[in-house]
Every structure is written in C-alpha cells, then in structure tokens.
Structure 1
Amino acid sequence: MAAELARRLSSLLKVPVHLRLTDNRATLISFRRGEEGLRLRLHHLFLGAPDAVVQAMAAYAGRADARAGEALEAYAHEHSERVRRERRPGKPLRTRGRCFDLQAVFARLNASWFDGRVQVDVGWARKPAGKRRRSIHVGGYDARRKEIRIHPAFDRPNVPAFVVDYLVFHAMLHADFEDTDGTGSEGRCAPEHTPAFREREALFPLGDAAQRWLSDNHTSLLRG
C-alpha cells in the first residue's frame, strides 16, 4: 500500500517520491525536497486514503497549499483512532529482567560497535495480553520516543545471550541510521533495510546463527 501511494504521488507531482511511514502523533505529514526528489514522511493512518485525500497530499507537498493542509487535518481527525496512544509519563522502561539486563547489553554494544554515539532508552516491552498470538514482534526501535524495546519472551534462560545481543544490535543500527541519514526522528523506524544497513549488520558475529535460532524457535516464542 505504501509503494502504491508513493507511485500515485509521484505521478501527480512529476518527481520521484521517497515515502517513509511514521507513527508520529505531533507531525502527521512532513516533506523535504532535494535533487533526488521528494522525501515524504507520512503517518500510517493515510494508507488507503481516498483519491481526494491523495490529491490533497500532493497539493500540500507540492505547493504547500493551505486548503490541502486543512483537508489532511480533517481526514486525520476523522481517523484519530488509528493514532497510537502515548505510553503514560512516569513509567520508565524496565531494563533488568530475570535473565538479561538490557541496559548492560546496550552499553557494551554501544562502546564496541557505535563509539558510544547511540543515545536512546532501552528496555523490555510489556507482555501483550489477550488471545494466543499468531505472530510475535521481537523488538525494535521507536524513533519518536527514542526507545529500543525487546519482547519479554526473550528474557528466559533457554534464550542464548547472542540472540539478545543481536536483537539489541539490530535495533541500535536502526537508531544509528536514523540519526545519521538526515531524515530526523519522526515516527517509528521504517521496516526496510538498505544495502548499507545490511552491510553493517553482516559484520556482527553470530548474526546468522541468531536469525536461524529465531526461525527454529518461533513456535516456542509464541507460547512464551
């Protein structure tokens, strides 16, 4: 859906459109023009928007049209239920688990691989309640909150330490690229992995082994 939206906007604006989805509550749409085209950061609630709203996106990004901006605000207001609520203030992330201290893992990796430049919070995510899961989000980097969260299913004695290291390292790579690629820090990190990202990730020892372990233990993680 994102690729199709980018193609529609590119056709309307007659320039390449590089689209990144966000989960930013404060800024639902922002853009920057450059020699390579238009870099557009857009809240995910606009995915699947009708043609009139897509036309308004193009007018807003192409001409900074005030009426188009008002139309986008109205559409966002109508679909405000898609905007994720903030985590309550005063509730810091829990870093120390039963088996792994994520802050210690983060500090070690930051010193060894990033020269200490990654400055984000890290901790265990809250275990989701409800029905039995069919999929699991292992963890990741939230650029809007400057947070790395790892699923609590990995805080178990049968999980190898190198798997937790890999998950934190992967999220830290996202944070490092977010801070150095000039795109700012609006919204959650994009899911795609560029060739530069993959090249740096490939340098991490036991990265392939960690990915195999994740694949082999998917069923047990769902139960955890």
Structure 2
Amino acid sequence: MWTMPRPRNQAERRAQLIDAAARAVVSIGATAVKLRDVAEEAGVTPASVLYYYSDLQELFSAVFEHGAATYFVLRKEAIAAAEGPVEQLQACIRSGVPWPGKGEESTRLLFELFPVALRNEAVAQAHRLFFDRQTELYRRILAHGQDGGEFTLTGDPRALGRSFVALEDGYAMDLLVGAATAAEIESRLFAHARTVTGNPAFG
C-alpha cells in the first residue's frame, strides 16, 4: 500500500487527501466510495481523514471545488493563448472536450461528483458557480466577436454561452458511456459554433 508522505502543514495534508479522494472517486465512483477507501488510497487511517474533514460529504465538496478550479484555469489559459474571437472560441471549445488522458479523467471526476450536488448544498453551489464561470467565458468571446463584426449571433451572447456549456455536458456523457469520441464531440461543437456565429471558419 502506498503511504502518504508526512506533510509539512495542514494545507498540504488537506491537498493530499483531496488527491487521494479524487483517485478513489474516479476508480470506484462517488456513490460507492467509503471513508476507508479514501484512507487506504491516502495511506492513512480513517480517523486521520476525519481529523481534517468532518465527513465524506465535506471532502467531496473540497474535491469538486479543486477539480472545477483546475479545469477552469486550464480553459482560461487556452483562451488567453489564442488571438481574436474565432481562435478564442475554437480554443474554448477544444479545452472543454474530454480528450483521452487528463482531460477525460478530470471530466469523469466532475461527472462522478454531480450526483453529490443533489444532496449537498455546498457542492450544488460550487457546481452552479462552475457552470456560470464557464458560461461567462463563452459570453465574452461571443460578444467580442459580435462587436468586431466577425460573428453574426443568432441570440443573446449569454444564452448562447449557456447552450455551449450544456452541450459540452451532454456530449461528455456520450463519451463517458462510449457513445462518442472526443474528436466527434469537437466536430459537433464546431458545427454548433458555425450555426450560432454565422462564421464559416468553424467547419
């Protein structure tokens, strides 16, 4: 069994427990994970986990917030590296596709924790914030393209932004259950972008 290195402070220990819980959730599923599973993954006792988190629900909330924050930062960085609204929208779409490897793993983690939001207000609030922040990424790009004359939008930028995020979630589920590939998802989202922006660059 892998043993967790002794941390230098409580923040480091909490971070290690979050990582261990995330691995357990991806491996077993949030609805099946027990306290002992997280403790075993972390190489500590269940009592040690409860010293830092009052219960699994509190730990799951921390896991979701950390996973969502990391996912969002990577999206922002991808968009920042692009120039102009067309390239920025392409980058935003690509960064939301669950590509094999880390992309698919991070998406699976967040999806595994979605059911927790139905019974945990802290996770539900974090999920709403996560959805809104991603919507805002799309809204800014779409509004920028509209203002510059590169996009002829079919609706309000914010409403269209929410439609992109909703489509991402639906298509990601298709991938996780084996009904679509990452490349197919990208193609579908590009087709949606062509429809709502009127720009043929999204071919």
Q: TM-score, normalised by structure 2?
A: 0.29
Q: TM-score, normalised by structure 1?
A: 0.27
The structure with the greater share of residues assigned to helix is 2
The structure with the greater share of residues assigned to strand is 1
